[in-house]
Amino acid sequence: MKRFTLDRRTMLRGMVGGAAVALALPPLEAMFNGNGTAYANGGELPRRFVTWFFGNGVALVDPYDPQNHKLRWTPPDQGPNYTLTPQLAPLAGVKEYCSVVSNLQVRAKHPEVRGHHTGVSGFFSGYPYIKLDAMNANYSSKFGGPSIDQVAAGFIGGETFLPSVQLRVSKRVITSEGPTLQYLSHKGPDQPLPAIQSPQEAYEKLFNGFVPPDDPSKPLRLGALDAIGEDVKRLQMRVGHSDKIRLDAHLASIAQIEKQIQALAPECAPPPAPGQTNDDQGGKEPLDEVNQVMSDLLVLAFHCDITRVASVQYTGSVGYTVFHMLGQTQGHHDLSHDANANDQIDAATIKTMEAFAYLLQRLKDTPEGDGNLLDNA
């Protein structure tokens, strides 16, 4: 019997409210060759590139035992069996995918060395930052060249619907010191790419591009599953058992994300004054919830090959994120300048690594070919 195959860009189609709906499929066995190492049409499995950033540094040594210089971040040994330090412990489930690089120097320096500006621009672009008129701010700058994710997008972004996507979790980013600290992705010195900080907006950009942005019937934007119901039934009758399971899981993931998005505030409030906690949800940012939804959306976008390049700004450089779930009340940047607050910085770093680990684990748990998405990222 001839093996049933699908093109990797097959879409489920339908109609909702008079509008055409197209929903991308995850990679199914029918799309791959017999070995699961390439697509059935001979194409290689896609590679993804992600930058994931958190600001203000880490507590390098144990705040309770600084005299002995017990390491909290950098592993004390090298090689594949390196020891995870307390701050890196959340990465245990994906340790085999993680390499920790230490003792780096950012040599792409502007003559005026400014820690945050130098580090972010130099590390993510390889260019010294360009100084701007600070006006009433402490300092201001822009990137001197494209960020590394946009260099990657220049090579592989043309293969997908979206060349790249920019996401943000915490809204507490500084906006007064120029594009360098406000944005993570830059096409060039004068082309910063604002990050999406609303899960609803991210969902619409990634999955509901067929709906006009000014459509007054906004509830229809979350009706994609109903619209493609008949196409789903036809496909389920043709694919094998394993593909049916993957298809069901894919549709269930989309349905769950729709519920999560509807449960969150539809839009994020503007950043408050530095150091204050005044959010649109009881004065507190829903960091855990937003990180989970954004990570799930990104994994689905990769799985459906909607994009292959992304940047995620978990917290900002000179950001004033408050880790309220840890009992903290001060902004993270203020704490990072307080020698007596290393224990709070330490706890915030562990929480941050838990957020990072969630994305990596989701990628690892998503099959692709004979491996998983994390194998191809």
Please name the residues in contact with 363: beta carbons below 8 A apart, sequence gap of 6 or more. 299, 302, 372, 373, 374, 377
Closest by Cα among 232, 305, 252 to 14: 232
Does the residue 52 lie in any domain? yes
Q: Is 151 part of any domain?
A: yes
Of the candidates 314, 330, 325, the one whose C-alpha atom is nearest the C-alpha of residue 277 is 330
Q: What is the pLDDT of residue 273?
A: 27
Q: How many domains does the chain have?
A: 1
pLDDT tens by residue, the chain, 377 residues: 556 666 666 666 654 455 565 666 666 777 766 555 555 555 678 899 999 999 999 888 776 676 666 778 999 899 989 999 999 999 999 999 999 998 888 888 788 888 899 999 999 999 999 999 988 888 999 999 999 999 999 999 888 888 999 999 999 999 999 999 999 999 999 999 999 998 888 887 887 643 333 444 445 545 666 666 677 777 777 777 777 777 777 777 767 666 555 544 333 233 232 232 224 577 899 999 889 889 988 998 888 888 999 999 999 999 999 999 999 999 999 999 998 898 999 999 999 999 999 999 999 999 888 899 999 99
Question: Which residues have C-beta within 8 Å of that of residue 103, sequence separation ≥ 6?
Answer: none
> Does any domain span residue 61?
yes
- Is residue 54 one of the residues assigned to a domain? yes
Separation between Cα atoms, residue 158 and residue 163, nearest integer Å: 6
Q: Where are the alpha helices (DSSP H) in 192-240?
A: 199-207, 224-227, 229-236
Asked whether residue 22 is assigned to any structural domain, the reply reads no
Domain that holds residue 295: 46-103+147-177+268-376
In this prediction, residue 207 carries a pLDDT of 73
The CA distances from residue 274 to 14, 266, 321, 333, 334, in Å, are 47, 23, 9, 9, 9
Buried b (16+ CB within 10 A) or exposed e, 294-309: bbbbbbbbbbbbbbbb
The verdict on residue 318 lying in a domain is yes
Radius of gyration of the chain (CA): 22
pLDDT for res 215: 42
**Which of 172, 229, 162 lies closest to 202 in space, CA to CA?**
162
CB atoms within 10 A of CB 241: 8
> Which residue, among 91, 111, 35, has the nearest Cα to 350 in the 3D structure?
91
3-state DSSP helix/strand/coil % of the chain, to nearest 5: 40, 10, 50
- Is 64 part of any domain? yes
Q: Are 327 and 336 in contact (CB under 8 A)?
A: no
